């Protein structure tokens, strides 16, 4: 019995989503929270793009500048679970995922802590008894609904109590597991998805009854959702409720378009990955430049090129001039200090051989496939480096060089 698929947890295809999300119900009912003059509003970040965090923070700032300091806002990121639990106990309102379709595990924990949950809640997407449990919120109505529940604490208390009772009834892990076992125990019946995404069934043309373990179905759903605007591009998204809008989203938004639109918000780690493997040369070039590699005009780097450096810092360790061409498989190693041997480190041998020095490539240089260029090397203008060469020393202008180690074989000139 599989209850979770960890690497696809964000795609809402975990098997227990077909029942209810299970959670441990506390033995003691939490006491109602004291109503503060300034409510505490909490937002917990898992992945900023998936939760729409940056847009939410901007909206919160605008509300505060417009109405004054009428609430406290805490954005929880990179905290230990124990710290988050304490903050949750003190929170009055949780803003969860305004671009999503319903409460996740953190949303359930908020409701169990008798905290008002404001989150996206598309009933067409996920048939879940949340209509009276959560405040259906998106970026367009956030201001209106937030002000209403701040100014009407009694309404807030009523909804909190309804939510608590519903979670205890539907999401108790013992009840959920019992329902799963009942279905699995009867081999004559098809596994029924009690709750499944409506527009998944529209596009995959599935009946409401189908095999829970069918990998083809899971892969279909995964492929569809990868191109979803709300999944990939949180900054511009609006909640999708109409069938026509959803159809347009699936047909017109591509994975590559999303990458290229969001290139300025990615981490350096992801940018370096894109620089090495992305199929579009313009995007690769932009990603190399954003991770501390200087490229001249009309210089082309093929995919599958490695630069061994500390790209997280601002130090420039690789510079290529104009009109250069670098074939696949080339390794630039300006920083040769990655060694896990305790003997080499303690003996001092590593200090003798480790090196960090900028590699400089001149103009009009062609570097063949699978070459390795070591730290400190300077290759002059108008040079050709043959495939599979190990370049450990400088190469002068107008040289044809190759070999291990790389040596100048002949001089090149403009006339011949």
pLDDT tens digits for 236-273? 433 333 344 444 433 334 555 666 666 777 788 888 88
Average pLDDT of the residues of the chain: 76
Mean pLDDT, to the nearest integer, of 381-409? 95
Domain at 268-411: CATH architecture: 3 Solenoid (2.160)
Per-residue CA distances from 3 to 13, 176, 294, 347 (Å) = 11, 11, 48, 50
Of 226 and 280, the structure prediction assigns the larger pLDDT to 280
Lowest model confidence (mean pLDDT) among 157-161, 218-222, 353-357: 218-222
Class of residue 216 by CB neighbours under 10 A (exposed 0-12, middle 13-18, buried 19+): exposed
370, 330 Cβ separation under 8 angstroms: yes
**Catalytic site residue 335?**
yes
Expressed in angstroms, the distance from the first to the final Cα of the chain is 73
Whether the per-residue pLDDT at 39 is higher than 70: the answer is yes
Task: Note the helical H segments in 305-399.
Answer: 342-347, 349-353
Of 162 and 181, the structure prediction assigns the larger pLDDT to 162
Of 247 and 184, the structure prediction assigns the larger pLDDT to 184
CATH 3.40.50.970 fits 23-171, yes or no: no
202, 243 Cβ separation under 8 angstroms: yes
Catalytic residue among 43, 195, 335, 338: 335
pLDDT per position as a tens digit, 267-324: 888 888 889 988 888 888 988 998 889 999 999 999 999 998 887 777 889 999 999 9
Q: What is the pLDDT of residue 204?
A: 42
Whether the per-residue pLDDT at 189 is higher than 60: the answer is no
Query: What's the rounded Cα separation, in Å, for the pair 116 and 103?
Result: 12
Put residue 68 in one of left, alpha, beta given phi > 0 → left and psi -120 to 50 → alpha.
left
Every domain of the chain and the residues it spans: 23-171, 268-411
Cis-peptide, bond into residue 405, ω within 30° of zero:
yes
Query: What's the rounded Cα separation, in Å, for the pair 51 and 120?
Result: 10
Mean pLDDT, to the nearest integer, of 360-372? 96
Whether the per-residue pLDDT at 391 is higher than 80: the answer is yes
pLDDT per position as a tens digit, 191-214: 444 333 433 444 444 444 444 445
Helix (H) or strand (E) holding 332: strand 331-333
DSSP secondary structure letter of residue 309: S
Put residue 46 in one of left, alpha, beta given phi > 0 → left and psi -120 to 50 → alpha.
alpha
Whether the per-residue pLDDT at 63 is higher than 80: the answer is yes
Confidence of residue 62 (pLDDT cuts 50, 70, 90): very high
DSSP secondary structure letter of residue 398: S
Q: Which residue, among 372, 365, 376, 375, has the nearest Cα to 389 in the 3D structure?
A: 372
Sequence-separated (6 or more) residues with CB below 8 Å from residue 149: 93, 116, 118, 135, 155, 156
Q: What is the pLDDT of residue 100?
A: 63
152, 106 Cβ separation under 8 angstroms: no
Confidence of residue 8 (pLDDT cuts 50, 70, 90): very low
83: tokens are 């710290």
Collapsing DSSP to helix, strand or coil, 339 comes out as: coil
What are the DSSP calls for 241-304, one per residue? -SHHHHHHHHHH--HHHHHHHTGGGS-HHHHHHHHHH-S-HHHHHHHHHHTTEEE-TT-EE-SS
Q: Positive or negative, the Cα torsion across 42, 47, 48, 51?
A: negative
Query: What's the rounded Cα separation, in Å, for the pair 336 and 357?
Result: 9
pLDDT per position as a tens digit, 316-364: 899 999 999 999 999 999 987 766 777 777 777 777 778 889 999 999 9
């Amino acid at each position: 019995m599989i209850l979770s698929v960890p690497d696809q947890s964000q795609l809402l295809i975990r098997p227990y989503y077909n029942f209810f999300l299970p959670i441990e119900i506390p033995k003691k009912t939490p006491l109602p929270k004291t109503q503060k003059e300034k409510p505490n509003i909490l937002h917990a970040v898992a992945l900023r793009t998936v939760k729409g965090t940056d847009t939410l923070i901007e909206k919160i700032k605008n509300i505060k500048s417009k109405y004054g300091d009428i609430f406290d806002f805490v954005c929880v990121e990179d905290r230990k679970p124990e710290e988050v639990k304490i903050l949750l106990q003190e929170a009055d309102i949780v803003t969860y995922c305004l671009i999503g379709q319903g409460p996740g595990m953190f949303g359930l924990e908020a409701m169990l802590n008798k905290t008002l949950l404001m989150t996206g809640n598309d009933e067409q997407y996920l048939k879940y008894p949340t209509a009276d449990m959560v405040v259906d919120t998106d970026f367009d109505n956030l201001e209106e609904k937030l002000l209403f529940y701040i100014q009407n604490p009694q309404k807030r208390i009523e909804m909190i109590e309804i939510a608590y009772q519903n979670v205890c009834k539907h999401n108790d892990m013992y009840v959920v597991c019992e329902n799963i076992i009942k279905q699995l125990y009867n081999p004559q019946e098809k596994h029924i998805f009690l709750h499944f995404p409506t527009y998944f069934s529209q596009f995959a043309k599935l009946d409401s009854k189908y095999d829970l373990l069918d990998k083809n179905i899971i892969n279909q759903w995964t492929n569809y959702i990868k191109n979803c605007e709300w999944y990939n591009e949180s900054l511009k998204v609006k909640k999708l409720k109409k069938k026509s809008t959803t159809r347009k989203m699936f047909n017109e938004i591509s994975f590559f378009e999303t990458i290229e639109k969001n290139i300025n918000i990615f981490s350096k780690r992801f940018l370096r990955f894109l620089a090495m493997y992305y199929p579009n040369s313009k995007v690769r070039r932009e990603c190399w430049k954003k991770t501390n590699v200087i490229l001249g005009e009309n210089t082309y780097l093929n995919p599958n090129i490695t630069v061994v450096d500390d790209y997280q810092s601002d130090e420039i360790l690789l510079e290529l001039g104009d009109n250069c061409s670098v074939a696949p498989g080339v390794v630039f190693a300006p920083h040769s200090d990655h060694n896990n041997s305790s003997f080499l480190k303690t003996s001092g041998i590593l200090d003798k051989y480790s090196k960090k020095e900028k590699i400089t490539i001149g103009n009009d240089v062609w570097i063949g496939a699978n070459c390795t260029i070591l730290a400190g090397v300077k290759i002059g203008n108008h040079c050709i480096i043959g495939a599979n060469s190990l370049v450990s020393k400088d190469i002068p202008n107008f040289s044809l060089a190759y070999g291990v180690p790389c040596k100048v074989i002949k001089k090149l000139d403009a006339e011949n």
